Structure 1
């Protein structure tokens, strides 16, 4: 896969991530800053490093599964694994300007 194809695939994954919302906050998980990194292997397996707004997040069990399932809908992706981390801990500063504006924080 060329660098350009990998970049296109990364963009497609981000577009999918932007369709997933934290149920308590009307902003997608990407703009919230919950996605720390997206990796795609040469075998077209995706790995997503993400966090939650808190360790006690009510969607801690379901959100990672939703992310995996939605990313796997991309025909170029064979498999997807989500790894949850709390290092660094999520803070409001990690939100995009768009998310802060949406939530009236600007």
Structure 2
């Protein structure tokens, strides 16, 4: 396989991962975690191992235990994904500025 093909596969897989992330909602806010800006980064290596760097709306978020597990499980359910790991960070802390325009509109913040 040429290097270019691998790059396309990784990019395609990245798009599929984003589509999955958009099906996961914060239980307190009717907006998906991607549009909320909770996903800081998605890394896919050449072995299709996925690492997701995400945050929560607050360190005391009631889903702090369950949301990362849900993200891992849903991403792992993609056929092309070999393994998935979620790392939670509060650096930088989440603010409403990280939300997409769509999310702000949905919540009446625009």
TM-score normalised over the length of structure 2: 0.95
Cα distance in 1 for residues equivalent to 2:90 and 2:64: 12
Deviation beyond 4 Å, 4+ runs, structure 1: none
Match of 1:103 in 2: 107
Verify: 1:39 aligned to 2:60, yes or no. no
| 1:2 to partner: Cα distance | 1.6
Verify: 1:74 aligned to 2:82, yes or no. no
| 1:104 to partner: Cα distance | 0.5
Q: Residue 60 of structure 2: which of 47, 50, 56 is its match?
A: 56
Give the gaps of 5 or more residues in structure 1.
none
1:41-76 alpha-carbon deviations (Å, 9 max, x no partner): 111110000000000000000000000000001000
Count of aligned positions: 106
Cα distance in 1 for residues equivalent to 2:80 and 2:9: 10
Match of 1:30 in 2: 34
TM-score normalised over the length of structure 1: 0.98
